[in-house]
Structure 1
């Protein structure tokens, strides 16, 4: 079981690398890593399990955050209609996105960043993501709102980008043109 001890923190060089594509079909080892990532996110949202194991709650995790420089992400959250989106994906990529932007009104956080970094993180309001699930099926997701932001955040990790790289350094809460706020 993954714990906070497995999660590398800001400043670790792996977080700034571009992760490698996972060869398909994935190895048993890669599948096991991705399954454990999804299980971490699920466990971290369970108050009893997270307290017992000292897990910080998260809704997404990328393989570089556990010092594995491979293109794998796990996301577990509900959308604005309370639909559960629980995905473990190999080689996810954004294949299209909206012109409109959005941002989390409360700002973004990250399991690899221990301190709070205030500011708006501009994201695309809508994205279409393709990836391969644990069963080897291609998945195509059309996302908006919080799920869109979470997938963009996790895919950024695969490209060595941290959420705070997007924050306006001069004015962290500056208006973002053509953007709508998203509530958490």
Structure 2
């Protein structure tokens, strides 16, 4: 396994729409090795999730996990989940305020609204159907990662850019 370089905002790859993963790709050793490297990269960078385009692969794949993450000390843990060709369906119109950061926009957080309750579906790392209901922070992370697959960054979803904050200032001056 290997930690890959996370590309940063400004790299045009982050603005591309990703292609679906073909069924015959999923079982290949190269693809499985890529999944392992993506997981290792997320964990090394203390991410709650990471999408394939963040390391330069324009395929519809992301991984999410929360396990006592120092970047999000007050958030609930959730298990490692690999999602290929993901889809998200909102389960209600209820939204929540989300202070988000991104490995491709290091050191910055911003506030936006995300759906509170969603259904995440797709395929797991072995090509088996995956379907789960997510609430709260896991739902936010999945929506954030799905956006990456469509070339959308969290800053594109912000209603008020005045909430952009360096992480070093986050929480010092208000409700962060």
Describe how 1:22-171 pairs up with structure 2 within 5 A.
Answer: 22-25=21-24, 26=26, 27-42=28-43, 44=44, 56-77=45-66, 84-104=78-98, 107-118=99-110, 120-169=111-160
Provide, for residues 106-157 of structure 1, a one-character-per-residue CA deviation record: whole Å limited to 9, x for no partner.
x210000024143x21111111010111122111010011000000000000
The CA deviation at 1:168 is 1.3
| Residues 95 and 11 of structure 1, relative CA distance in 2, 3 Å threshold | same
Q: Secondary structure at the match of 1:141?
A: strand
Tell me how large the CA RMSD over aligned residues is: 2.5
2:167 counterpart residue number: none
Is the 1:35–1:88 contact (alpha carbons within 8 Å) kept by the matching residues of 2? no
TM-score by length of 1: 0.77
Contact 1:22 1:90 in 2 (8 A): yes
Match of 2:172 in 1: none
Alignment correspondent of 1:51: none
Q: Structure 1 residue 97: deviation in Å?
A: 3.2
* TM-score normalized by the length of structure 2: 0.80
Query: How big is the shift at 1:84?
Result: 3.2
Which structure 1 segments of 5+ residues have no match?
Answer: 45-55, 174-182
Provide the C-alpha distance between the structure 2 equivalents of 1:131 and 1:153, rounded to a whole number of angstroms.
Answer: 16
SS at match of 2:125: coil
**Secondary structure of 1:153's aligned partner:** helix
Contact residue 103 and residue 149 of structure 1 kept, 8 A: no
Which is richer in strand? 2
Looking at structure 1, the residues matched to 139 and 119 of structure 2 have their Cα atoms a distance apart, in angstroms, of 8
Q: Could you say which residue in structure 2 is the equivalent of 1:7?
A: 6
Q: Paired residues, what number? A: 158
Task: Determine if contact 2:78/2:138 at 8 Å carries over to the other structure.
Answer: no
